[in-house]
Structure 1
Amino acid sequence: MPLPNPLRDLSLSATVAGFVAVLVGFTSSVAIVFAAAQALGASTAETASWIWALGLGMGITSLGLSLHYRLPVLTAWSTPGAALIAASHGISLPEATGAFVACALLITVAGYSGLFERVMGRIPIAIASALLAGVLARFALDAVLATRSAPLLVIVMALAFLAGRRWWPRYAVPGVLLAGIAVALAQGQVHLAGVAVEWTRPVFTLPVFSVNALVGIGLPLFVVTMASQNLPGVAAQRASGYQTPVSPVVGATGVASLVLAPFGGYAFNLAAITAAICMGREAHEDPARRYTAAAMAGVFYIALGLAGGAVAGLFQAFPRELVAAVAGLALLGTIAGGLASALKDEHHRDAALLTFVVTLSGLTIAGIGSAFWGVVAGGVALAFQRQR
C-alpha cells in the first residue's frame, strides 16, 4: 500500500478546519495567557515572547506529530494552567520559569514512561465518548447564547450551516465562516485597526528554582495539565476512532515545554475541543486524510508565533459571537457522535450519562476542571454497577 501523500490528501475543507481550530483555540483563551504573563510581571516584549513560544510549540508539535503518525494530532497550550498562573501571587517571572521547567520534566516522564497511557487504558470507550461530548457541548450552548447579543449574525450562520449540510456537507463549516465574516463586515464588526505587521522577537528568561514556585505553580500546573487537558485530549482521539500512541505524543509535548519554557512556553498538551474540529467529517470525508487538518492548524500556529502581534490583532478583529458560532456549529457532528457512542451500551449508559452531566457542568474543585471529575463520577458509577 502506498504511503499517504500530505499534499495530495490536503483539501480546502481540511485547511479551513485547521484555520477554524486555531481561530477557536486562540481567541477563546488568549486573554487568560496575557493575564498569566502580567501576573508574573512580564513586560510587553516578554508577553509577546510568550505568544511566540506558545505558537511555535503548538505549531511544530501539531505539524510534526500529525505528519509522522498520519493521524490528526493537535496540541494546545494549557488553558487551566494559564488560569492557575494568573491567580498566583508573589512569584517572579524567573521563579515561575523554573516551575515551568519542572512541570515539563514531569510531563515528559509521565509520557515516555507509559504511566499516563496505562491510566487511560482503563477508561471505557463509553466514558471517553461521554467526556468528549460533555467538553464540547459547552461550545454548542455558547453558540446558542450568542444570539442574545448578535442575533442576525448567529442566525445567518446557522442557516448557512443547515444549507451546507443539505447540499454541500463537506464545505458546511467553510460556508458558515464565510457567511459570518460577510455579515460581520456588513455590520462593521470586524476591526482591523489593531493589526500591525511585525515579527515577534523571543526573550529568554533564565530559570530560577525555588520551593515556593515549585509547590505553588510547578506541581499544580502538572496536575491540571494532565487531568484537565491531556485526559480529554486522549478521550477525543479515542472517541473519534483514532488509536494515537499516547506515550510518545504526551512525551513530545513535555519536551516542547522543556525547550520553550524559558521563552514563555509554560505547558503544552493534547487538544480536545480544537482537535475535534480537525477530526470531524467537516474536515474531510475520509478519516484517513483528516490528519492534514491538524497539520494545517500547525502551520497556522507557527505563523501565529512568528508574527504574534499581527496575527493576534487579526484574530482579535473578529467579533466574539462569530467565533462562538463557528465553534458550536463545527462541533455539532462530533457532539452527536460522542453521545451516540456513549449511550449505545446499556451496561455503561448510567455511568456515561453521569460523566456527561458532570463534565458539562463546568465544576472545578481544587483547581482541577470538570473533565477530570466527570471521569471520576463515571468511574464510581461503573464500580457500583460491577458490584451489583
Structure 2
Amino acid sequence: MKRGRTAGGDLQQPISAGVVAVLVGYTSSFAVVLTGLHAVGATPSQAASGLLALCLTQAAAMCWLSTRYRMPLILAWSTPGAALLAGTEALDGGWPVAIGAFLVAGAAYVLTGLWPALGRLISRIPAPIAQAMLAGVVLELCLQPVTAVKQNPGAILPIALVWLLGVRFAPRWAVPAAFACAGLVIGVDMVRHGTSIAGSSLLPELSLTTPAWSWAAMIGIALPLYVVTMASQNVPGVAIMKSLGYDVPWRGAIVATGVATVAGAPAGGHSVNLAAISAALAAGPPAGPDPRRRWIAAQSAAGTYVVLGVGSAALAALVAVAPMGVIATVAGLALLGTLADALEGAVSHRAGREAAVITFLVAASGVSALGIGSAFWALVAGLLVHLVLHRRPH
C-alpha cells in the first residue's frame, strides 16, 4: 500500500478507532498480565511497574512506526505470553531471573527482524504444535472461573453473568464489562470489610530490577515466550494487516517490538508485539474510509496507552485487595477466546494431530523437570512425536 499524507478532513474516525482499540485490548487482558507477572515473582509494585513499562514502550514504538511507515501499526503486550508466565512455577532466583528472560526474548525479536534465517527456522515449528502449547498453558487459567464459583459464588457469579450477557449482546466489550463488574464486587467487599487502598501508592512509578541469568529461565521462560509470541501474535498480526491491504514492513516492525521489549524489561515489561485483534479495529473500516489516513489511529492509540499507564499503580492496588478468585475469573474469561482459537488451530487438521495432542497434554499437566516448566517440555515432546511420525524412511 502506498504511503499517504493526511491533509485536512475529519480526523474523528481514526482517532476514535485508535482509542477504542486500546481500551478493548487493555481492559480485556491487563488482569492476565498482572497475574503472569505475580506468578514469576513480581511484587504488586513491580507488577504495576511492568504494566506501566508496557504502556510506555508500546506507545513510543507505535508513534515511531506509524510516523515512519504511515501505517496503522498497532502494538500490544503478549497476552498469550502473560498466560504462559501465569502457568510457570516460581524459579530459583525469582523476579531478577524473569527480568533476564524478558531481555533475552526481546533480543530474540530484534535478531529475528535482522536475520531472516531465524524467522524461517521458527516458522518450521508446525503451527498445530505451537497452538497446542498455547492451549495447554492457558487451560489452567481458563478453569479458574469454574473453581472460583465453588469457593466464592457470591462474587464470581455476577461477573460471569455480566460476561455472558456481554458475549450475547456486545462481544467486543464482554471482558471489559466483566472487569467493570469485578470492580464493583471489589468495591462492595472493601466497604463490607473496611479495607482500603489508601495506604498504597497510586502514583505510576517504574521500578527497575537488575537482571539475573539462569538456564532454567532462558529455556523455561524466554524460549516459550518467544515462540508463543511469534506464532500467536506477530505472525497473525501481519496476516490481519495483509487482509486489510497493508504490507507490514517485517524487519522494521519486529525490530521495533524487540527494542521496545528490551527497553521495558528492566521495569517488568515481559513482551511487546504486533497486535492482532486490536489491529483489525484500528486498521479497518472503523478507522475511516481512506486507508491512507488510518495511520492516525496508531497515534491516538499511543496517546491512550500513556493515559492508561498513569492508572497502572491504582489498578495493581485494586487487584491486591480483590476477593479470592475475582481477578483469576476475569483473567480466565479473557483467555477463553484464546483457548478456543488455539484448540482449533491445534486439531483442525488430521495430519499431525497426535503431536499436537501430546503437546497440549504435557503443557496442561504443569509438569516441571530440571527447574524448567511444562511449556518447554511440551514443545520438546510435540516436536519429538512429530519427527518420529513424519520422518521419511531412507
Secondary structure, counterpart of 1:237 in structure 2 = helix
Within the alignment, does 1:87 sit opposite 2:92 as a pair?
yes
Within the alignment, does 1:161 sit opposite 2:163 as a pair?
yes
Within the alignment, does 1:324 sit opposite 2:328 as a pair?
yes
Partner of 1:192: 197
Cα gap change, 1:155/1:270 in structure 2, threshold over 3 Å: closer, same or farther? same
2:164 corresponds to which letter in structure 1?
A: L
Aligned residue runs from structure 1 range 360-379, under 5 A: 360-379=364-383
Tell me, in whole angstroms, the C-alpha distance in 1 between the residues paired with 2:47 and 2:185: 33
Partner of 1:338: 342
> 1:97 Cα deviation (Å)?
9.4
Secondary structure, counterpart of 2:387 in structure 1 = helix
Cα gap change, 1:202/1:169 in structure 2, threshold over 3 Å: closer, same or farther? closer
> 1:86 Cα deviation (Å)?
6.3
Match of 2:232 among 232, 236, 248: 236
Tell me, in whole angstroms, the C-alpha distance in 2 between the residues paired with 1:221 and 1:318: 30
Secondary structure, counterpart of 1:143 in structure 2 = helix
Secondary structure, counterpart of 1:144 in structure 2 = helix
The number of equivalent residue pairs is: 356
Structure 2 unmatched runs, 5+:
5-10, 66-70, 240-247, 288-294
> 1:325 Cα deviation (Å)?
1.2
Partner of 2:15: 7
Determine if contact 1:15/1:292 at 8 Å carries over to the other structure. Answer: no
> 1:141 Cα deviation (Å)?
0.9
**Deviation digits for residues 221-246 of structure 1 (CA, Å, limit 9, x no counterpart):** 44444312111112222785644877
2:203 corresponds to which letter in structure 1?
A: E
Tell me, in whole angstroms, the C-alpha distance in 2 between the residues paired with 1:317 and 1:292: 38
Match of 1:149 among 148, 151, 170: 151
Tell me, in whole angstroms, the C-alpha distance in 1 between the residues paired with 2:379 and 2:15: 38
> 1:330 Cα deviation (Å)?
2.2
Match of 2:361 among 357, 364, 367: 357
Within the alignment, does 1:60 sit opposite 2:60 as a pair?
no
Determine if contact 1:127/1:378 at 8 Å carries over to the other structure. Answer: yes
> 1:280 Cα deviation (Å)?
8.4
> 1:163 Cα deviation (Å)?
2.2
> 1:364 Cα deviation (Å)?
2.6
**Deviation digits for residues 337-383 of structure 1 (CA, Å, limit 9, x no counterpart):** 22123211111221221121112222333343322322222222222
Secondary structure, counterpart of 2:370 in structure 1 = coil
Determine if contact 1:72/1:292 at 8 Å carries over to the other structure. Answer: no
1:135 corresponds to which letter in structure 2?
A: V
1:337 corresponds to which letter in structure 2?
A: D
Secondary structure, counterpart of 2:271 in structure 1 = strand
Secondary structure, counterpart of 2:201 in structure 1 = coil
Secondary structure, counterpart of 1:217 in structure 2 = coil
Partner of 1:173: 175
Tell me, in whole angstroms, the C-alpha distance in 2 between the residues paired with 1:127 and 1:287: 30
2:177 corresponds to which letter in structure 1?
A: G
Determine if contact 1:351/1:378 at 8 Å carries over to the other structure. Answer: yes
2:391 corresponds to which letter in structure 1?
A: Q
Partner of 1:30: 38
Cα gap change, 1:250/1:229 in structure 2, threshold over 3 Å: closer, same or farther? farther
Cα gap change, 1:119/1:337 in structure 2, threshold over 3 Å: closer, same or farther? same
2:175 corresponds to which letter in structure 1?
A: V
Structure 1 unmatched runs, 5+:
36-46, 208-212
Determine if contact 2:347/2:356 at 8 Å carries over to the other structure. Answer: yes
**Deviation digits for residues 21-66 of structure 1 (CA, Å, limit 9, x no counterpart):** 223212442364446xxxxxxxxxxx968954x4454223433555
Match of 2:120 among 118, 121, 127: 118
Determine if contact 1:105/1:258 at 8 Å carries over to the other structure. Answer: yes
Determine if contact 2:129/2:346 at 8 Å carries over to the other structure. Answer: yes
Tell me, in whole angstroms, the C-alpha distance in 1 between the residues paired with 2:235 and 2:151: 33
Cα gap change, 1:335/1:288 in structure 2, threshold over 3 Å: closer, same or farther? farther
Match of 2:277 among 273, 276, 279: 279
Report the TM-score when normalising by structure 2: 0.69
> 1:259 Cα deviation (Å)?
4.5
Cα gap change, 1:381/1:49 in structure 2, threshold over 3 Å: closer, same or farther? closer
1:23 corresponds to which letter in structure 2?
A: A
**Deviation digits for residues 53-83 of structure 1 (CA, Å, limit 9, x no counterpart):** x4454223433555636455423698869x8
**Deviation digits for residues 175-216 of structure 1 (CA, Å, limit 9, x no counterpart):** 32233333333344774334434353767x8x8xxxxx9xx7
Partner of 2:242: none
**Deviation digits for residues 121-152 of structure 1 (CA, Å, limit 9, x no counterpart):** 10222223222222222211122111232112
Partner of 1:38: none
Secondary structure, counterpart of 2:352 in structure 1 = helix
2:176 corresponds to which letter in structure 1?
A: P
Secondary structure, counterpart of 1:74 in structure 2 = strand
2:34 corresponds to which letter in structure 1?
A: F
Which deviates more, 369-378 or 70-79? Answer: 70-79
Cα gap change, 1:185/1:258 in structure 2, threshold over 3 Å: closer, same or farther? closer
Determine if contact 2:106/2:259 at 8 Å carries over to the other structure. Answer: yes
Which deviates more, 352-361 or 283-292? Answer: 283-292
